[in-house]
Amino acid sequence: MSVQYDEYLSQHVNAVYKGFCWMKENIPDIFGGDDVISKIDYNIKFGHDRSKQEPDEYQPYDAYFYGKNRSAQVVEDFNYAWLEHIHRNPHHWQHWILHKDDPNEATECLRMPDVFVIEMICDWWSFSWNKGNLWEIFKWYEERKEHIMLNPESKEKVESVLKRMKEKLIEIQEAGPQGGEGAAQAAMKMPVPDNSVDINKLMESGLADAINNAINGKAAGGIMSGAAQ
């Protein structure tokens, strides 16, 4: 096991949750109801990328990113692990692509439920949080939007959420302290609730115990305690 990869996993879930909390605080209209908010909250705290702890994902990912060896075998193992990860995690757009057996039928992009669309955007945005540049996601998406395969309804939802994010960041920038603070800096100083659980505690103690502790307010540290990724 790699300390660096363990830290990455914790930091990543941390950043995904930060993005979600920011959305909940600043653009709650994107969710369409408290039930969607509750589902996303639960998914991120107790499920986001949890499959990366499985040996058939953890070991190939660790070797690929931190093993300092990109041999053909390491790359192949990682590709299989990435494929497993996509099929296990519905917050990836690739999860919803249906490639049919019939050569006369086109590949179909199924509609992603909004719960997973928003979790996917939080996943993308996590890297912006980690770098301290909340604008980065817009350039990232612009460069990839023709490559990313989405159902038309899902694409419309993605782009409407990104539009609301950008509008809010501009609003924050314009209203920043002394009128000069950047949107990223101002947004990242906004309080984010620390009501989650530490990802490493979750993996060590088991899901049921972690949920119990979170409900009873006993979780130590919290998903928000680290850096973002």
Q: What is the mean pLDDT of residues 207-212?
A: 37
Q: What is the pLDDT of residues 129-164, one digit of tens each?
A: 999 999 999 999 999 999 999 999 999 999 999 999
Helix, strand, coil % over all residues of the chain, rounded to 5: 70, 0, 30
Residue-level pLDDT at 177: 60
In degrees and rounded to multiples of 5, residue 79 shows phi and psi of -60, -40
Helices (H) and strands (E) in the chain, counts: 10, 2
Q: What is the mean pLDDT of residues 24-49?
A: 96
Residue-level pLDDT at 35: 95
Q: Find out whether 112 and 120 touch, Cβ atoms under 8 Å.
A: yes
Q: What is the pLDDT of residues 98-125, one digit of tens each?
A: 999 999 999 999 999 999 999 999 999 9
Q: What is the mean pLDDT of residues 30-46?
A: 96
Please determine, for residue 5, whether its predicted confidence score (pLDDT) is greater than 70: yes
Residue-level pLDDT at 185: 56
Q: What percent of the chain has pLDDT over 70?
A: 76
Please determine, for residue 208, whether its predicted confidence score (pLDDT) is greater than 70: no
d(CA 101, CA 7): 41
Q: What is the mean pLDDT of residues 197-223?
A: 37
Please determine, for residue 25, whether its predicted confidence score (pLDDT) is greater than 50: yes
Residue-level pLDDT at 203: 40
Structure tokens at 129: 């949080």
CB atoms within 10 A of CB 1: 7
Structure tokens at 31: 């969710």
Confidence of residue 182 (pLDDT cuts 50, 70, 90): low
Give residue limits of the domains in the chain: 3-49+113-225
Q: Which pTM does this prediction carry?
A: 0.79
Residue-level pLDDT at 87: 97
Average model confidence (pLDDT) for the chain?
A: 83
